[in-house]
Structure 1
């Protein structure tokens, strides 16, 4: 059985919900799945003033070496001005030793994100995540157009061929059913791809 890690950062819970959906899809694809989050690095005063969601069922990842145990790594982070936030970037900045040794080469990778607005940088944020995965040697799986939910224009929803996404608005909008379906599709596709590569 392939092992999939869903690694995320979430300030307000949107990416936490997407992570759960990604994991659900990966399990449907036959994988053993762990969900971990990266540590919060914002000062406590900022977390409190901004009303970040601090209760979660998911443990903080033990460190970069934990990545080695997985066949696939699916990374989720919200946008900060069109790129991944510092919390996730700081984690990947600690993976230099893995890069040097080639420990992640050949694994499968994918990305998911959220933005406050429809055109708030979803694709550039996905690319900022995928760039790290490509440098580490992962084989990238996107949200292909086999997922027809990203083809509609009747409703405003996230989704791009580069990864699953949700639109949070002012924070009150929760992930749409179609966005959660996209996350499940992505997780399942990653799990099935990894299973083929590591059969």
Structure 2
């Protein structure tokens, strides 16, 4: 069973969450996680001005996803940073190229899930996850979130991401904060949860 983890990461926060999601997927017997990046749309010069070149180079070993790979997967878990309460432009452009799959109903019945990152605690994480679900519903995905069975999202002793809609992390205004262990645990739980549901649907 193939679980595709498709994401965009500017400074490495979403990439780190994606790796944790893959660890969770691996907890389900027979499930194989495949990490994929969506194509970059920003010119090199802009990435340099953003200070993102080094972080991009660090994840350059992750293959770039093609839309056809979505159809071959049993489940797809998407990761995107938040951009004004929505998915990033790179992810939007990638999804906008899936019209052919939509026309064939190629993704109907597959499990779909989303995780995200934002600079601030209330920077639009939940709206990003929920608005992303709209695209998944149009494709016929069976949407899976992060249930309260993951007790880490009940914590009030620390600032942390995570909601019923999906795992998330808080990066800080300058990207100085990497995902906490609780946020990584949420990503692992989500990966395992998605893979478990996909396995039951496949059976």
- TM-score range, shorter-chain basis? over 0.9
For residue 109 of structure 1, give the secondary structure of its aligned residue in structure 2. strand
1:114 is aligned, of 112, 117, 126, to 117
User: What residue number does 2:199 align with?
Assistant: 195
TM-score normalised by the chain length of structure 1: 0.97
2:127 is aligned, of 111, 121, 124, to 124
Structure 2 unmatched runs, 5+:
none
How far apart are the structure 2 equivalents of 1:154 and 1:138?
35
How far apart are the structure 2 equivalents of 1:75 and 1:54?
18
For residue 28 of structure 1, give the secondary structure of its aligned residue in structure 2. coil
Are residues 1:24 and 2:23 paired? yes
How far apart are the structure 2 equivalents of 1:43 and 1:69?
30
1:54 is aligned, of 56, 66, 85, to 56
Aligned counterparts, 1:24-173, within 5 A: 24-30=23-29, 31-52=31-52, 53-55=55-57, 56=59, 57-61=61-65, 63-169=66-172, 170-173=174-177
How far apart are the structure 2 equivalents of 1:129 and 1:37?
17
Asked if the contact 1:35–1:58 (Cα under 8 Å) also holds between the matched residues in 2, the reply is: yes
Q: Using the TM superposition, give the Cα deviation of residue 130 of structure 1 relative to its aligned residue in structure 2, in angstroms.
A: 1.5
How far apart are the structure 2 equivalents of 1:153 and 1:5?
32
Q: Using the TM superposition, give the Cα deviation of residue 128 of structure 1 relative to its aligned residue in structure 2, in angstroms.
A: 2.4
Alpha-carbon displacement from aligned partner over 1:111-163 (angstroms, at most 9, x marks no partner): 00000000000001111222111111010111000000000111000000000
Asked if the contact 1:7–1:36 (Cα under 8 Å) also holds between the matched residues in 2, the reply is: yes
Alpha-carbon displacement from aligned partner over 1:150-195 (angstroms, at most 9, x marks no partner): 0011100000000000000120100000000000000000000000
For residue 185 of structure 1, give the secondary structure of its aligned residue in structure 2. helix
For residue 78 of structure 1, give the secondary structure of its aligned residue in structure 2. strand
Give 4+ residue runs of structure 1 displaced > 4 Å after superposition. none
How far apart are the structure 2 equivalents of 1:153 and 1:7?
30
How far apart are the structure 2 equivalents of 1:129 and 1:187?
17
How far apart are the structure 2 equivalents of 1:105 and 1:191?
17
Asked if the contact 1:29–1:187 (Cα under 8 Å) also holds between the matched residues in 2, the reply is: no
User: What residue number does 1:185 align with?
Assistant: 189
For residue 47 of structure 2, give the secondary structure of its aligned residue in structure 1. helix
For residue 142 of structure 1, give the secondary structure of its aligned residue in structure 2. coil
